[in-house]
Structure formats: C-alpha cells, structure tokens
Chains A and B, each alone.
Chain A
Amino acid sequence: MFGAARQWAKAVDGVSFDIRKGEVLCLVGESGCGKTSTGRAILKLTEATGGDVFLEVPDEEVKRFREAASKPDRPDSAKVMDEVRRKYSITWKESIAWRWPEILVLAAMVAAGTLAAFLIPALLVGFVTDPFASSWTTIGFGVAVGAVLGTVASWPPGRPWRRLPIVVGLLSVILVITGGIPTFFFAQFVGTEPEGPTISIPWQRDLFGMLLATSFAPMFAAGSSALVIDWRTRTGGLSETMQRLLRRFQRFSEQASAALLGRRQPTRRPPGIIERILNRFRERSQAVSMYLSEWRKRKGDIGGIRMRALRRRLQLIFQDPYESLNPKQSVYEIVSEPLLVNRVTQSPEETTSAVLSALRDAGLRPAEEFVFRFPHELSGGQRQRVSIAAALVLEPDFIVADEPVSMLDVSIRTGILQLMMDLRKSRGLTYLFITHDLGLAWIIADRIAVMYLGKIVEIGTAEQVIRQPQHPYTRALISVVPSPDPRKRVERVIVKGERPDAANIPAGCRFHPRCPMAFEACGWDAEEVAEELQVLQAAGRLPDVGMIMAQGERAIEILPAPGKSPTDARSALEAVLAEERNARLALKAIQGVRVRDDRIILMLHAGSAPRLTRLAPEHSVACHLITPPSTASVAVTA
C-alpha cells in the first residue's frame, strides 16, 4: 500500500543442471555471472524467485516432472509437478487458501478432541478419587491432565521448548478472555449445589475451577494448535493474506514493544533492584518477541521446516578464510558451533570428539594443538582447513565450495584441493565447486558448467568443455587462460568490452553484443543496430544519410541527408552495409532496406534467446551457431 513495490531483476535466470552423487561439478564464469548466487540459492541462503532445487530425486521422477513442465496446458501437469515438488523440492513453498470443508473438519476435530480431553480424564479422576465430585472443578482438573497429555502428544518435533513459552503465554491470554470468564459465569448458574469437603462456598469453588481450567487449558490449546499448524505445514503453507497480516501484526507488535520498553533510564545512578528486574523483563520480552517473529516467519514456509533437517547434510565452504572466521572465536568454538546449533551431539564429550575428528580429517594434526588457537594464530591454509572442518563436522553429503582456494598461495592451494578430493573419496562427498579459474576446474571437475551473465552457456564433462568447447564464450575464455608453459601459447581470442549490467540484460542471447561470431538470429534490437550505424555515420561513411532513429524493437527509420533522394541514399546505404557487414556484426541483423514516403526503413531479423540443447551425451550448449533456431522463430515479425 505504501512505498514502492519490489522489483526483481532476473540476474540469474533459467539455470538448470543436475549434480550426481559423488561428483564434482564446477561452476565457472567471470565475476558477476551469478555463480555464487546460484550456489547460495541451492542452499536456500538467498531466496530464489522461482525454480526448484530437488534433492535425491530419482531419474524417473525428474523425467515425469520435465514432461509435465514442457506441457503446461495438460490438465494434470500442474498436479504432477506439485506432487514431485512436494516430495523432493527443498525450495518449494506451497500456499493454499483455507477451504470451507477443511475449516469445518478441522473445527470438528478440535472440538471432538477437546471434548474427549475434557471428559475422559474428568471421568477417570471422578472414578478414582472423587475429591470434587460432580463439580466444575473436576472438569477443570481434567482439563489440566488433558492439556498435558495433548501437548505431549501433538507437539511437533524439533526444538519445542523454544516455542513453548510464547505459545503458552499467547494462548493463556486469549483463553482467559474467551474460555475462563464464560466458564466462571456459566458456573454461577449451573453449579449451585455446595459439595465436597474442602471448599464449601460456591463462588470460591467455582473460581478455583476456573483458575485451574484457564491455567492448564492453554496447554491443550497449544497442543492442538500446534497439531493444526503442523498439519497445515505438511499440506501447504498459510495463505498469502494470512502471512501478510501476521507480518503486519508482527511489525506493529515490535514497534509497540520498542515504544513501551525501549525507553532509556533518565538517571545514571546504578540500577536498583526494581530496575534490574525491569531490565531483565525487558530483555526477556525482547527475546520472546524475537522468538515470536521467528516462529511466525516459519509458518507459511513448508520448505523451512524440512530445510532445518537438511542443513546438516548440505554445507558451504566460503571463499576467503581471512574474512569468514570469527576472530573472537577459537577453533573449537568455530568447529563445534554447527553441532550445537543443530543439536547433533548430546554431551560435551561427544562434541569434543566430533570436533577433533573433523579437524584431523581436515588435515590439522595434532588436532588437540589447534583446538584452542584463534584464527589470527593460523596461516591462510590452516584457516581454510578450519573452514573445511566446520563444514565437515556435521558429516554432510553435499558441499558447495565457493572459490575455496582463490585467496591462497599456489603452494598451499594444492594441499587444500588434494584434501577436498581425498574427502570426496573417503566420505563419498558431492561438490558444487564454484570458481573463476578454468585451469582449476580442468584439474578437479568431473563436469563443468560455464556461466555467462546468469545463464549456463555450456555444460559437459571436463574433457568436452575444455578440449572441444562449442560456445564462442567458452572458446574465448579458454584461450585467455594464461598457461605457465610459454611453449604452449595459443592465439588469444579477446572478447571486446565488458560484461553488461545484470539489471539491464541484452535481449536474445545474452552474449551477442560481445560475441565475435554473432549473426542474424542472436537477438539484436533496433537500438544496438542504430548505434552501430551512428558510429559509421560519425566516421563519415554515410554521407547521404541524415538522422537515424530506432523505431521500436525491430525497425529503424533513417532520413536522407538534405537534398538527397531517399532512393539514392538507400543504394548508398546498402553498399556500405554490404561492405561493413563482417566487421560490424550488428549490421548482420538488417533484413531489408526499403523506402517508404521520404524516408528509409530498415527491418531487422527477429532474434531469440538460444536454449541449452544437447549436442552429445552430457554435452549441452546454448548457442544459435550450434543449434540453429527453427525457421519459424526467425520469420519476420515486422
């Protein structure tokens, strides 16, 4: 409602690849091509705007998914896709609006459950003890037992104690208002006969019952609500509106609590006992509101719940060991943190032994000597080994290694690479290795994916990509990689210009403005061609031509120079175009030159973005040169 709507620039788009178990896939590209964003999106460290990351998905399911995705108009394809996603996707979020039958069933379930939880313990208690026979108090007591049972039974797995105080607190308040007070008044009318030995005055007795009911009933309500929420998250997230409302409420409550509790003490004398209590209360309430917001955030997000379990199995090694380690933490703290956060180990001894074995595996021996060191006491190579140990300690299956050796000296670099490859063998690890260094990719990768400006342009086995590169960008990139052997110098293909801004991506093939082999179908637009013509004009090659203007995407309007006839200007222009076509590739996009009224109209070929197409087993390339676009898409759309 207020402020600007968020806009997305699709910097990384249409990137699709698979990593097989035990494989090293290298993601190679220049800086800003989206390698790191891709790696982070896979681990859900950046939220992708679309697309799926499947984990441990069988081949036939992938096939089923792809088939459904390629035929979006078939009636069951959406259902099939959702089915596969529900089982294997770690990025997928499902948002289903509440339907009436669902709400009714749910309400009935909660009502029946509540009733059972009220009555069964009440009956039991009544039969066994009979302390407050046939009184509302008995029901209250029953509620208490039911609440405890219900909570224990239905609380979702994970770390329930973290959420307990908030849920109980919140629901107590609600239930005192909605449940307790009506119970009290109702009791005034119904339970009028004084019974039982201890409490004889009716209103006192009923108050006791009410208190019991209201203090324990929330537990039951919490249990059942957790059940409801758990059920919702299993089948789908909360609706968008609900999420928005919650978020708004959360912001409001944060602001309100800040306004109420965040005021500073006016005096500077040491805090008295009351202030200390108040401070403590303030801290606690802030912590509670933090938990609360975290808890709310998680609710709509089915992936988030699964992701917590998966985090252990998917780990990341960062680029710069000088930046990624906390200088205030010892090696022990750094390496043990993942264990504690994920509640993997049960005792300090277990933690210590896990840390030591991870350090040993990472090549820091004797591990006992490194445990109490701080990052500044370690060399660059040792720091990176600590990072690796911190990733290994959870015994992951899959590691995204984001430029793990680019900050290290060559003589140390090999040691780290060797270690990573050894671990792959001994632990069956799978790597997504992100690097800008093709030489490095060549050494370690099973398969290489080359990225340019957020797209994969070529993917294949290391042999295929390095020895038989097909895409012009890959070819150029390989030719400029310097080699330490001066005898093996090859002719460098230096691509002109620099990478375009990712917020303003060229149409068609993203590489075409820099491509040395671009041709008609690569997606030139009128602006680009007009610019090229203006350069020619500035160089004095087009004396017969006046103003050059781009008209929309596919047409350019040219005025003849004053005193020239359009037909003469046209033939002069055509001659120059034929001459310059091979030097200025943008001119290849001109399909026809014609004269309309007093001006010349240039029509351009239609272009399209090339799709990643399979050339050979494992080897796919996205380039129109290799897989010419079908004639239909080149057809003129003037």
Chain B
Amino acid sequence: MSGASFDLREGEAIGLAGESGCGKTTTALALMKLLPSNGRIVGGSVSFEGRNLVRSSETTMRKVRWKKISIIFQGAMNSLNPVRRIGGQIAEPIILHEGATKTAAMKRAGQLLELCGISGERVNDYPHEFSGGMRQRVMIAMALACNPSLVIADEPVTALDVMIQAQILELLERLRRDLGLSMILISHDLSVLAETCNRVAIMYAGKIVETGLVVDVFSDPKHPYTQGLIAAFPDIRSQRVMPEAIPGDVPSLIAPPTGCVFHPRCKSAFERCSKAEPSLAEIAPDRRAACFLYPEVPEVSERTSPLPAP
C-alpha cells in the first residue's frame, strides 16, 4: 500500500471501493494501527482530531480505539463469540473502556440493541439464536458501545441478501444521521457505496486512484479505472446492455508494474504511464485523481522516508 490519502469530515461518510486485494481492509487496519505482525506502517500520517495516530503510543491508541474510532470487521457475522451471550459481549468494551459497572453496562447493551432494531430483551441470547442480518445488527451495536465519533465498517453487507442488505444500510444511515457519526464504509460493491456515502475513494492495487463526491465520481468518473469499474456494474435502472469488462487481472503487489499501476489494463495508457507514477492531485474542486490524462497531475517525486522500526 502506498499513496492512500483521503480526508473525512465530521458527520460525513466516505466509501472505500475497489476489487479484492486492493488494500481496502489494510487501509482500515492501518488507520487503527491494528495491522498484523507481518505488516508495518513505514510512512505517512493519520491525523484524527488534531493528533497523529501513526506517531501515538500504544497506550494512546488503546484510548482511541472503540471510544473514538470503532470498527465493524469483515465477516462480522461470524466474529461473535459463539459461547457467550451477546449482552456480555457488547458490555465488555463498555466495562473496559468506560469503567462502567456490570449492571450499567448490561443496561446500555440493551439500549444499544434497541437502537439497532433488536428487542432489548434479547441481550441474554446466544449468537446462534440470531439470523445473519440480526448478528450484523449486534455487531453494529457493539461498535457503537462507547459512543465513538468514527465508525469503520468493513464490508458490512457483503454476505447478506439484498433485502437484509437494504435494512442494514438503512440502519447505518439512520445511525449516522441521529448520532452524528463519521463513517468509513468499505465495500467491493460500488452500488452500495453509491447509495450510502457522501464521498467515495476508489482504490486500485494499494493506491487511491480517485476521490470525490459520490455524485461527481459516478456521473463523471475521471480515472480510467473508475470508468471501467462503473461500467462493469450491471444497472437495473438503465438499458439492458452487457457491462464492459476490464481486460487482464489485478497485478501482484509484490512486483507491481512500473509507472502507473493500472497502465497494463488501461485503455487510454500512453508512453508516460509506464515510466512515471502519477500522484493523487486535485483536478477539479473537491476532486482528486491519479492519472496523467489530466495535465495538472504531477509525478510522484520522492518516497516518504520509512519510520524507524519499533
């Protein structure tokens, strides 16, 4: 991953979109410094409410996680502990992070469930007593346990049916509106992001290639990859045409192509694309793209120096 840069304002939802293996989840984990032991942040910064999380100590991060930023993990439906009642699982972070008593935490767990559309009496049920959509609601309730200001949702609706998907998305939208949450929504499904986010960042092979307001990006995609990706989605509300394919496969991140990572699959690639790497630059108000088709886009000049290993 390199050059994934975006900003998120308070109360706003940004969508991270891209195909599998493009680094969406890695970005989310890096934001919270939760990368697995074989991953490391070698440069860059994450500024959150005025402090740089990359430079923060683990102790500070512990205070930030869940209280300020919480995450709904991918495959969340299966990440509940099957042998513990859900009430206890939701109450655990409340007890740990806020020092609440067990009774108070359980009461709050019940309220959170009600907030997410599950009867509060079900705090004493086990995960297997819930359906997939309900479990996803429980996970959302758990993420909201300590009143965070930012929620990262990693593929929150991926394994769900369209109808349940719509229910969950509506719930997320309602929570964002009512609680004033900021949200990072990660999905491979562009149409899900199109319906729920204000802004969207399109990722390809570990880089953000385009960002902008949802309406702008979808109605007038600037980067060829975004154009291809949008064209590849079948749209039930437009003409019956076969969506277009992007030729080729996602490149390996161990040996990425020289220059622009997308140039081997790009329709409008020219000579410069294989030699230099474009950086993400503003090409219109509130609109950034990393593509040499736009003359204002500069090349990536220097690499950020790696951080000293911890």
Query: Which A positions have Cβ atoms within 8 angstroms of B?
Result: 30-31, 379, 381, 409-415, 417-418, 421, 436-440, 442-444, 462, 466, 476-478, 480-490, 492, 494-495, 498-499
Q: Are A486 and B240 in contact (CB under 8 A)?
A: no
Interface hub of B167, B228, B244 (most chain A Cβ within 10 A): B167
Mark interface residues in B142-173 (1 if CB within 8 Å of A CB, else 0).
00000000000000000001111111001000
List 8 extra interface pairs beyond A436-B162, A439-B191, A494-B163, CB under 8 A. Answer: A30-B164, A440-B234, A482-B194, A483-B236, A484-B191, A485-B194, A498-B131, A498-B134
Closest chain A residue to B248, Cβ basis: A411
Q: Known contacts being A379-B249, A480-B165, is A498 close to B133, with CB within 8 Å?
A: yes
Closest chain B residue to A33, Cβ basis: B161
Query: Which residue in A409, A411, A415, A488 is a CB contact (below 8 Å) of B235?
Result: A488
* Minimum distance in angstroms from B289 CB to a CB of chain A: 18
Q: Known contacts being A485-B218, A490-B237, is A412 close to B133, with CB within 8 Å?
A: no
Q: Are A415 and B163 in contact (CB under 8 A)?
A: no
* Minimum distance in angstroms from B247 CB to a CB of chain A: 8
Interface hub of A417, A476, A481, A487 (most chain B Cβ within 10 A): A481
11 A–B contacts from the bound complex (CB under 8 Å):
A30-B164, A411-B19, A412-B249, A414-B242, A421-B242, A442-B236, A443-B242, A480-B165, A483-B238, A485-B235, A498-B131
Q: Known contacts being A410-B233, A415-B245, A489-B195, is A443 close to B240, with CB within 8 Å?
A: yes
Residues of A within 8 A of B250 (CB): 409, 411
* Minimum distance in angstroms from A482 CB to a CB of chain B: 4
* Minimum distance in angstroms from A161 CB to a CB of chain B: 46
- B211-245: which residues lie under 8 A (CB-CB) from chain A? 214-215, 218-219, 228-230, 232-238, 240-245
Query: Which B positions have Cβ atoms within 8 angstroms of A?
Result: 19-20, 131, 133-134, 161-167, 170, 188-192, 194-195, 214-215, 218-219, 228-230, 232-238, 240-247, 249-250
Query: Which residue in A379, A436, A439, A476 is a CB contact (below 8 Å) of B236?
Result: A439
A476 to B166, CA, bound (A): 10
* Minimum distance in angstroms from A184 CB to a CB of chain B: 70
* Minimum distance in angstroms from A549 CB to a CB of chain B: 23
Q: Are A410 and B238 in contact (CB under 8 A)?
A: no
Q: Are B245 and A411 in contact (CB under 8 A)?
A: yes
A488 to B243, CA, bound (A): 17
* Minimum distance in angstroms from A364 CB to a CB of chain B: 13
Residues of A within 8 A of B242 (CB): 414, 417-418, 421, 443-444
* Minimum distance in angstroms from A498 CB to a CB of chain B: 5
A-B residue pairs, 7 tightest by C-beta? A414-B245, A482-B191, A480-B166, A411-B246, A30-B161, A439-B234, A409-B19
Residues of A within 8 A of B215 (CB): 486-487
Residues of A within 8 A of B162 (CB): 30, 436-438, 477, 480-481
Closest chain B residue to A473, Cβ basis: B163
Interface of A, helix, strand, loop or mixed by DSSP: helix
Closest chain B residue to A380, Cβ basis: B20
Residues of B within 8 A of A462 (CB): 240
Q: Are B237 and A485 in contact (CB under 8 A)?
A: yes
Q: Known contacts being A439-B233, A443-B240, A462-B240, is A483 close to B195, with CB within 8 Å?
A: yes
Q: Are A413 and B232 in contact (CB under 8 A)?
A: yes
Closest chain A residue to B214, Cβ basis: A486
* Minimum distance in angstroms from B9 CB to a CB of chain A: 19
A492 to B195, CA, bound (A): 11
Closest chain B residue to A480, Cβ basis: B166
Q: Are A495 and B163 in contact (CB under 8 A)?
A: yes
Query: Which residue in B134, B165, B249 is a CB contact (below 8 Å) of A381?
Result: B249
* Minimum distance in angstroms from A140 CB to a CB of chain B: 71
Closest chain B residue to A442, Cβ basis: B236
A443 to B191, CA, bound (A): 16
Q: Are A410 and B192 in contact (CB under 8 A)?
A: no
Residues of A within 8 A of B195 (CB): 482-483, 486, 489
Q: Are A494 and B19 in contact (CB under 8 A)?
A: no
A488 to B250, CA, bound (A): 30
Q: Are A498 and B164 in contact (CB under 8 A)?
A: yes
Residues of B within 8 A of A438 (CB): 162, 236
* Minimum distance in angstroms from B59 CB to a CB of chain A: 40
A442 to B166, CA, bound (A): 19
Residues of A within 8 A of B170 (CB): 492, 494
Residues of B within 8 A of A498 (CB): 131, 133-134, 164
Residues of B within 8 A of A411 (CB): 19, 228-229, 232, 245-246, 250
Q: Known contacts being A466-B236, A483-B235, is A476 close to B245, with CB within 8 Å?
A: no
A487 to B192, CA, bound (A): 14
Q: Known contacts being A381-B249, A411-B246, A486-B219, is A443 close to B234, with CB within 8 Å?
A: yes
A485 to B230, CA, bound (A): 9
Closest chain A residue to B190, Cβ basis: A484
Q: Are B235 and A414 in contact (CB under 8 A)?
A: no
Closest chain A residue to B18, Cβ basis: A409
Residues of A within 8 A of B167 (CB): 494
Q: Known contacts being A477-B163, A480-B163, A487-B219, is A414 close to B236, with CB within 8 Å?
A: no
A438 to B167, CA, bound (A): 17
A412 to B188, CA, bound (A): 13
A31 to B20, CA, bound (A): 23
* Minimum distance in angstroms from A327 CB to a CB of chain B: 19
A481 to B164, CA, bound (A): 11
* Minimum distance in angstroms from A452 CB to a CB of chain B: 10
Q: Are A486 and B218 in contact (CB under 8 A)?
A: yes
Residues of A within 8 A of B240 (CB): 442-443, 462
Q: Are B234 and A476 in contact (CB under 8 A)?
A: no
* Minimum distance in angstroms from A385 CB to a CB of chain B: 12
Closest chain A residue to B244, Cβ basis: A414
Interface hub of A381, A421, A437, A442 (most chain B Cβ within 10 A): A442
A418 to B243, CA, bound (A): 9
Closest chain B residue to A438, Cβ basis: B236
Q: Are A478 and B249 in contact (CB under 8 A)?
A: no
A485 to B241, CA, bound (A): 15
Q: Known contacts being A480-B162, A488-B237, is A414 close to B219, with CB within 8 Å?
A: no
Residues of A within 8 A of B218 (CB): 484-487
Residues of A within 8 A of B164 (CB): 30, 498
* Minimum distance in angstroms from A586 CB to a CB of chain B: 19
A598 to B183, CA, bound (A): 59
Closest chain B residue to A478, Cβ basis: B236
Interface hub of B164, B229, B244 (most chain A Cβ within 10 A): B164
Q: Are A439 and B235 in contact (CB under 8 A)?
A: yes
A489 to B238, CA, bound (A): 12
* Minimum distance in angstroms from A479 CB to a CB of chain B: 8
A450 to B252, CA, bound (A): 40
A417 to B228, CA, bound (A): 16
* Minimum distance in angstroms from B213 CB to a CB of chain A: 9
Q: Are B236 and A481 in contact (CB under 8 A)?
A: yes
Closest chain B residue to A440, Cβ basis: B234
A57 to B192, CA, bound (A): 43
